[in-house]
């Protein structure tokens, strides 16, 4: 089984409500990997309906998170909200298309390839547009002088973008 995705403190946006959601989404994804990976025993792996239900639930949880995040942004008149909302819509469309394809194929096992696609989908959100938003938020909260915080943000953005290009 590929290495399980676990939360890293340096992925934190330093916005507790949103970090909590991101951690929960990663935990949910890891749980699906454990239950439906090819090595899973006890009859869970091989149940296409249960796997699709679990992935559907992950998608719904992401959608709910997007709603909370957009409410949060509206709360302080974030200027980039339009762009961020479009990205949310795009991510949900991507997920729906993946699920549709897997459902049509009758996918019964959450193998390394499928896990990688969902992992990248999750991280594209957590390490992508949310970073720009967190930077704007931190400026508003007077954290723009925190050099360590800014450095961590930019290192993660650039290394994640590089890894996406290499795939
Ligand atoms: Fe988010």
Per-residue pLDDT of the chain in tens (167 residues, 90 and over written 9): 667 889 998 889 888 889 999 999 999 999 999 999 888 755 555 678 899 999 999 999 999 999 999 998 888 788 889 999 999 999 999 999 999 999 999 998 999 999 999 999 999 999 887 888 888 888 877 765 566 666 665 665 555 556 555 54
Tell how many helices (H) and how many strands (E) occur in the chain: 6, 0
**Residues 44, 102: contact at Cβ < 8 Å?**
no
Q: Ligand 1 centroid to 143 CA: how many Å?
A: 20
Q: Ligand 1 centroid to 120 CA: how many Å?
A: 14
Query: Quick one: angle between helices 112-124 and 147-166, nearest 10?
Result: 140
Entry pTM: 0.82
Q: Ligand 1 centroid to 42 CA: how many Å?
A: 34
pLDDT of the residue at 45: 56
pLDDT of the residue at 157: 57
Q: Ligand 1 centroid to 125 CA: how many Å?
A: 6
Q: Ligand 1 centroid to 27 CA: how many Å?
A: 14
Q: Ligand 1 centroid to 103 CA: how many Å?
A: 26
Q: Ligand 1 centroid to 38 CA: how many Å?
A: 29
Cα separation, 44 vs 67, whole angstroms: 31
Q: Ligand 1 centroid to 85 CA: how many Å?
A: 11
pLDDT of the residue at 160: 54
Cα separation, 76 vs 71, whole angstroms: 9
Q: Ligand 1 centroid to 134 CA: how many Å?
A: 10
User: Is domain 14-166 annotated with CATH 1.20.1440.230?
Assistant: no
How many CB atoms neighbour CB 55 within 10 A?
23
Sign of CA dihedral 23, 27, 28, 33: positive
Q: Ligand 1 centroid to 83 CA: how many Å?
A: 14
Q: What are the boundaries of each domain within the chain?
A: 14-166
């Amino acid at each position: 089984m590929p290495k399980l995705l676990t939360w890293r403190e340096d992925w934190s946006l330093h916005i507790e409500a949103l970090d909590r959601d991101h951690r929960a989404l990663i935990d949910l994804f890891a749980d699906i990997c454990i239950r439906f990976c090819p090595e899973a025993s006890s009859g869970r792996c091989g149940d296409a309906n249960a796997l699709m239900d679990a992935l559907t639930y992950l998608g719904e949880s992401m959608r709910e998170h997007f709603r909370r995040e957009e409410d949060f942004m509206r709360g302080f008149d974030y200027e980039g909200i339009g762009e961020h909302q479009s990205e949310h819509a795009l991510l949900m469309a991507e997920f729906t298309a993946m699920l549709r394809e897997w459902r049509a194929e009758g996918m019964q096992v959450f193998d390394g390839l499928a896990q990688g696609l969902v992992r990248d989908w999750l991280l594209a959100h957590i390490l992508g547009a949310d970073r720009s938003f967190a930077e704007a938020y931190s400026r508003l909260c007077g954290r723009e002088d925190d050099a360590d915080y800014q450095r961590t943000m930019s290192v993660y953005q650039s290394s994640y973008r590089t890894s996406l290009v290499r795939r």
